[in-house]
Amino acid sequence: MIRLEKRPQPSRIWTTITPLLAVLLTMLFGGIMFGLIGTPPLETIRTIFWDPLFHPQFAGFSRPQLLVKAGPLILIAIGLSIGFRAGIWNIGAEGQYIIGAICGAAAGLALYPMDSALILPLMILCGALGGWAWAMIPALLKVRFGTNEILVSLMLVYVAENILASVSSGLLRNPEGMGFPGSRNLSQWSSSQNLELVPNTGMHLGVVAAFIAVIAAYVLLTRHIEGFNIRLSGAAPRAARFAGVSPARTILFCLGLAGALAGAAGLFEVTGPAGQISIDFGSGYGFTAIIVAFLGRLHPVGILLAGLLMALTYIGGELAQLMLNVPAASIQLFQGMLLFFLLGVDVLTNYRVRIARREVA
């Protein structure tokens, strides 16, 4: 009989190797999946993980895209991880990402075609405030009425998507766009351009903000009393209350911070790679960032590495679709496998497997 036995304390070894093991299992079973749908497994895995970085034909384009894709994932995941550490489950970062992009873009378009160096900082501020305000809805409902932040934040994603469709076809639609939905191209307006800071690297302001967020989160969690309160709230809620930590204050802080970072990520995306508000602006970064947060063990440095890995699967997945005709849905399933195996293997962090003889009655 196989049973799970609770460990006295979490295993440090399994905590360290779980992400690596999850990646290896994803490659193994992902390869089986690719084989079942008729694509060569080894070639597909190589195309996803190796070719974007080292293939002479693709590396020159793919390497800069690595930072472009990783920036919003890391920025959103950092905000989510702080809430997750406190036991606050914000699943609606995608909605906060969309609303932040809408608010930031609207602030800039309201000033079009004015030229000023202050416009982009204003847009960043409005984007962060938009995401913060959207996250405050589940935060205030939880504090005031005890609602479930998982359900409320998730349902607000669909509200945000409908708002996005509405403003793309109405309020923010380009008056010179021949009636097509979508705003003006912000990446072509000098005052709102989020250009590469270092040519051919993909390093723009959003990537810089992601690196700053990693450093700030590390300092917060390891050197600041607020970080201690957050970790205590997640590990021992009753002890946190006895120590004088306010649950309401923690909820408002964690959800607000996550919303602000997600909103800023949306603004950096709409002024950079995306270029405009459109119906299909929502890219799923808010949901993928959940995988990044857990793959990085909710640690800022781990999230940085996990964000780069997940960005690699985005780029490699697009390359596999182009070169091997791999269905897009199978790439999304491949990414989902990563979270599935991570959560499955993570059981061994807190439990050990015991094999015992079945007792006879």
Say which CATH number the domain at 78 has.
1.10.3470
Is residue 47, in this structure, part of any structural domain at all? yes
The pLDDT score that the predictor gives to residue 359 is: 61
In this predicted structure, what is the pLDDT of residue 308? 94
Three-state DSSP class for residue 46: helix
DSSP structure string for 72-85:
HHHHHHHHHHHHHH
Residue bearing tokens 């982009």: 120
Cα angle: 183, vertex 280, 272; to 5 degrees: 60
Token couple for 222: 């390891």
Supply the pLDDT for residue 350. Answer: 85
pLDDT tens string for the chain (361 positions)? 778 888 888 888 888 888 899 999 999 999 999 999 999 999 999 999 999 988 888 888 888 889 999 999 999 999 999 999 999 999 999 999 999 999 999 999 999 888 888 999 999 999 999 999 999 999 999 999 999 999 999 999 999 999 999 999 989 998 887 878 888 888 788 788 888 888 888 888 999 999 999 999 999 999 999 999 999 999 888 888 888 899 999 999 999 999 999 999 999 999 988 888 998 887 789 999 999 999 999 999 999 999 999 999 999 999 999 999 999 899 989 988 988 898 888 888 888 888 876 665 5
Domain membership of residue 14 (yes or no) is no
Per-residue tokens: 77? 């995941």
24 belongs to a structural domain: no
CA-CA distance, 355 to 129, in Å (whole number)? 54
Which is it for the CA torsion 217, 207, 283, 46, positive or negative? negative
Tell me if 270 sits within 8 A of 110, measured CB to CB: no
Q: Judge whether 44 lies within some domain.
A: yes
Answer yes or no: is 141 within a domain.
yes
* Lookup result for tokens 């097509």: 180
Residue type (1 letter), 157: V
Is 198 strand, coil or helix? strand
**28 in any annotated domain:** no
Q: Which domain range does residue 189 map to?
A: 38-326
Do residues 326 and 29 touch, judged by C-beta distance below 8 A?
A: no
Distance, in Å, from the CA atom of 198 to the CA atom of 216, rounded to the nearest integer, reads 23
* Predicted local distance difference test score (pLDDT) of residue 212: 97
The set of residues, in sequence order, having a beta carbon less than 8 Å from that of 74 and lying 6+ positions away, is 210, 211, 213, 214, 292, 303, 304, 307
Please give the structure tokens belonging to residue 27: 């490659």
* Residue 341 confidence (pLDDT): 92
Overall number of domains in the chain: 1
Residue 358, pLDDT score: 65
Within a domain: residue 7? no
Is residue 12, in this structure, part of any structural domain at all? no
